[in-house]
């Protein structure tokens, strides 16, 4: 398996922020509070014929140190931020990752729409890396997990809630409002107003407004999806993201296919995000930045240290509806004898708190055991125990596919038939 | 629907993978007039503070005057809490000890851990919880339990 050489084409992703230079001047003109641009770079269109009423005191160029003209802190200020370098040291980031890139990771697209200065591109790369590393770790460690549980486990490791918690635990603070004058060590994002906040002067709540409707899914026939069409578990592996959630149309989709925008005329004009979304974007962008600057190995170590080392009890993710039926189907599929529940011991059958211990047997093999206050409860617990024993099988030596690119010969891992279909 | 899943989040175990120092900021306040700040002023002029700052790049250090009061050190922690120590009339070595105390704290309220040897774990015990139905050699004969 051949590793992708992302460093070769990552120049377009990295260039502006990593090279602090005299970029600031051009950038400021781009964002001056003017009706339209006076400075037209690489444009072949005709010069606008409107004359601009020029104020008399406009002869002076704008002050290059007036950072309030910028939507986000310029890269040149990254080295003067104590908060930023403390964050760099706290996370033990590789020294090859410059402070400018770390500062760029902290700028959400809601704060700065310019893709050269926000973390959108890094975040896309980091999301794919996080999803890839997490799902390969779970699939190789628990090859028999049902699809739904696999998706939930991936979500528990690198879902948006977890990444927001990671941001909090890293000690990253959020700027009250984004701007060029803000310390670059803060997470910069334009915060969404709470849904229960009322619109000025009216009693209407924000969530009741029609223009705040749901974003549109990328699945085929999105308008029919909204009518409650059923979505099977296996379709999630085809259409949806790493966690089984629908993928929504993004700005990139609209720029590639502008006709989509007219279809979704109800979308909000101004994009504001929740703190959870901004934190998620930051952690993903940092993951992508570590990959681009320090390489694959450093990226995987960073992932292991901060994401995979977190604690998750996978056996608590299951929710069975009819475990006894599932178990008999599973035994039929695997060629075992059909399961029989037998009582192993009991106490106080006529008392207020009886306890029954029931085992589930296939032939002479005991598949599971459970205890409960009634015979039915004990039997169901025994079936759940047997099913978890099957689904949570874990090989002794776990190897993941990404290791195969590091020179070690690859040995195939177990691919299971999946969960039973009832 | 055979089996569905519950969505949760994984919990952090600081130090299992990466270790994040919980102290993120130290504020040193001194006074030029009062004698109780003498040790603090010596500490701030000595190489002790510079070497401490160099050894702990993850802590931002802020030094500011606070006239006509006793000198204090204030630690700010990742959980959002603060811990303040008044260092009036202390020598610079004693102040360094207080700084290290603030560095090593996690910002939680100081709580007494009762019960002597208390071990907390997120994992279940390997042996499980004792119950009367397993382990012993018991035979159930009718309503009579025979323990061998």
- How are beta strands B3-5 and B23-30 bridged, if at all? unpaired
> pLDDT grade, residue A1 (50/70/90)?
very low
Mean pLDDT computed over A128-144: 95
Which of B16, B78, B138 is facing A169, going by the closest CB pair?
B78
The answer to whether residues A44 and A157 touch, using CB atoms and an 8 Å cutoff, is no
* Number of compact structural domains in chain B: 1
pLDDT tens-digit readout, A378-417: 999 999 999 999 999 999 888 898 887 777 788 888 888 7
Phi-psi region of A335 (alpha: psi -120 to 50; beta: other; left: phi over 0): left
Flag whether B91 is in a domain: yes
Q: Which helix (H) or strand (E) holds A14?
A: helix A11-18
Residue A296 in tokens:
């694959």
Flag whether B90 is in a domain: yes
Q: With a cut of 50, say whether residue A70 has pLDDT above it.
A: yes
In angstroms, rounded to a whole number, what is the distance separating the alpha carbons of residues B145 and B143?
7
CA-CA distances (angstroms) from residue A103 to A90, A108, A158? Answer: 15, 11, 22
Flag whether B85 is in a domain: yes
Topology classification of domain A6-20+64-194+235-314: Ribonuclease iii, N-terminal Endonuclease Domain; Chain A (1.10.1520)
Flag whether B127 is in a domain: no
Predicted complex ipTM: 0.88
Pick the residue from chain B with its C-alpha nearest to A329: B2
Q: At what angle do helices A11-18 and A120-141 cross, to 10 degrees?
A: 120
Flag whether B116 is in a domain: no
The answer to whether residues A394 and A142 touch, using CB atoms and an 8 Å cutoff, is yes
> What CATH number has the domain bearing residue B29?
3.40.30.10
Domain extent at residue B43: 23-104
pLDDT tens-digit readout, A181-213: 999 999 999 988 777 777 666 667 776 665 544
pLDDT tens-digit readout, B68-117: 999 999 999 999 999 999 999 999 999 999 999 999 999 999 888 887 78
Q: With a cut of 90, say whether residue A358 has pLDDT above it.
A: yes
Residue A144 CB partners (closer than 8 Å, separation 6+): A390, A391, A392, A393, A416
Pick the residue from chain B with its C-alpha nearest to A232: B1
Of A398, A395, A402, whose CA–CA distance to A131 is shortest? A402
The answer to whether residues A209 and A193 touch, using CB atoms and an 8 Å cutoff, is no
The shortest C-alpha distance from A54 to chain B (Å) reads 46
Domain with CATH 1.10.1520.10 in chain A: 6-20+64-194+235-314
Flag whether B129 is in a domain: no
**Are B4 and A319 a contacting pair at CB < 8 A?**
yes
**Are B57 and A345 a contacting pair at CB < 8 A?**
no
**Are B12 and A165 a contacting pair at CB < 8 A?**
yes
pLDDT tens-digit readout, A235-276: 787 888 888 887 877 767 777 776 666 655 444 445 688 999
pLDDT at position A40: 43
Flag whether B46 is in a domain: yes
From the number of C-beta atoms within 10 Å of its C-beta (0-12, 13-18, 19+), residue A106 rates as: buried
The answer to whether residues A307 and A157 touch, using CB atoms and an 8 Å cutoff, is yes
Chain A positions in Cβ-Cβ contact with residue B6 (cut-off 8 Å): 152, 316-319
pLDDT at position A25: 40
Q: Mind giving me the DSSP string for A145-191?
A: --HHHHHHHHHHHHSHHHHHHHHHHTT--B-SS--TTS-TTSBB--B
Strands, sheet with A340-347, edge to edge from the N-terminal-most edge strand: A340-347, A355-362, A365-372
Chain A positions in Cβ-Cβ contact with residue B7 (cut-off 8 Å): 152, 155-156, 159
Chain A positions in Cβ-Cβ contact with residue B5 (cut-off 8 Å): 146, 148-149, 151-153, 317-319
Flag whether B73 is in a domain: yes
Chain B positions in Cβ-Cβ contact with residue A319 (cut-off 8 Å): 3-6
pLDDT at position B109: 92
Topology classification of domain A321-391: Double Stranded RNA Binding Domain (3.30.160)
pLDDT at position A291: 97
**Are B2 and A319 a contacting pair at CB < 8 A?**
no
The answer to whether residues A165 and B9 touch, using CB atoms and an 8 Å cutoff, is yes
> CB of A333 within 8 Å of any CB in chain B?
no
């Amino acid at each position: 398996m051949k590793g992708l050489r992302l460093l070769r084409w990552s120049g377009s992703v990295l260039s502006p922020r990593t090279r602090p230079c005299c970029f600031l001047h051009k950038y400021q003109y781009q964002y001056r509070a003017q009706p339209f641009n006076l400075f037209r770079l690489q444009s072949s269109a005709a010069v606008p014929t409107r004359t601009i009423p020029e104020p008399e005191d406009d002869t002076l160029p704008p002050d290059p140190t007036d950072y309030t003209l910028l939507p986000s802190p310029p890269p040149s200020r990254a080295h003067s931020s104590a908060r930023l370098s403390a964050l760099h040291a706290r996370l033990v980031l590789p020294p090859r990752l410059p402070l400018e890139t770390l500062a760029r990771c902290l700028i959400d697209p809601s704060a700065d729409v310019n893709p050269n200065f926000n973390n959108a591109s890094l975040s896309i790369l980091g999301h794919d890396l996080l999803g890839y590393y997490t799902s390969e770790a779970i699939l190789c460690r628990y090859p028999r997990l049902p699809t739904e549980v696999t998706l939930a486990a991936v979500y528990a490791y690198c879902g948006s809630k977890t990444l927001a918690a990671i941001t909090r635990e890293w000690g990253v603070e959020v700027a009250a409002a984004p701007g060029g004058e803000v310390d670059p060590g803060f997470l910069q994002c334009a915060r969404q107003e709470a849904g229960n906040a009322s619109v000025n002067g009216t009693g209407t709540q924000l969530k009741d407004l029609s223009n705040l409707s749901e974003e549109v899914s990328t699945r085929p026939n999105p308008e029919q999806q909204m009518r409650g069409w059923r979505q099977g578990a296996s379709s999630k592996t085809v259409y949806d993201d790493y966690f089984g959630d629908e993928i929504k149309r993004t700005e990139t989709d609209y720029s590639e296919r502008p006709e989509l925008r007219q279809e979704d005329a109800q979308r909000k004009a101004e994009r504001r995000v929740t703190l959870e979304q901004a934190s998620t974007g930051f952690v993903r962008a940092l993951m992508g930045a570590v990959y681009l600057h320090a390489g694959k190995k450093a990226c995987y170590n960073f992932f292991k240290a901060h994401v995979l080392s977190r604690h998750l009890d996978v056996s608590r993710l299951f929710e069975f509806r009819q475990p006894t039926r599932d178990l008999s189907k599973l035994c039929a599929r695997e060629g075992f004898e059909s399961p029989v529940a037998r009582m192993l011991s009991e106490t106080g059958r006529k008392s207020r708190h009886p306890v029954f211990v029931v085992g589930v047997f296939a032939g002479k093999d005991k598949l599971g055991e459970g205890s409960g206050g009634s015979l039915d409860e004990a039997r169901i617990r025994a079936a759940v125990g047997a099913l978890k024993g099957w689904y949570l099988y874990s090989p002794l030596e776990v190897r993941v596919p990404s290791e195969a690119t590091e020179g070690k010969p690859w040995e195939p891992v177990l691919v299971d038939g999946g969960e039973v279909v009832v | 629907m055979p089996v569905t899943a519950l969505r949760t989040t994984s919990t952090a175990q600081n130090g299992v993978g990466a270790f994040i120092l919980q102290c993120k900021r130290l504020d040193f306040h001194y006074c030029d007039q009062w004698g109780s700040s003498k040790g603090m002023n010596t500490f701030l002029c000595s190489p002790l503070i510079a070497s401490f700052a160099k050894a702990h790049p993850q802590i931002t250090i802020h030094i500011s005057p606070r006239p006509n009061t006793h000198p204090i050190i204030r630690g700010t922690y990742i959980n959002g809490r603060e811990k303040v120590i008044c260092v009036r009339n202390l020598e610079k070595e004693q102040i360094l000890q207080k700084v290290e105390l603030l560095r090593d704290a996690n910002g939680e309220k100081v709580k007494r851990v009762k019960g002597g040897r208390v071990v907390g774990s997120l994992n279940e015990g390997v042996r499980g919880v004792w119950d009367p139905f397993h382990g012993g050699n018991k035979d159930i004969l009718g309503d009579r339990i025979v323990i061998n």
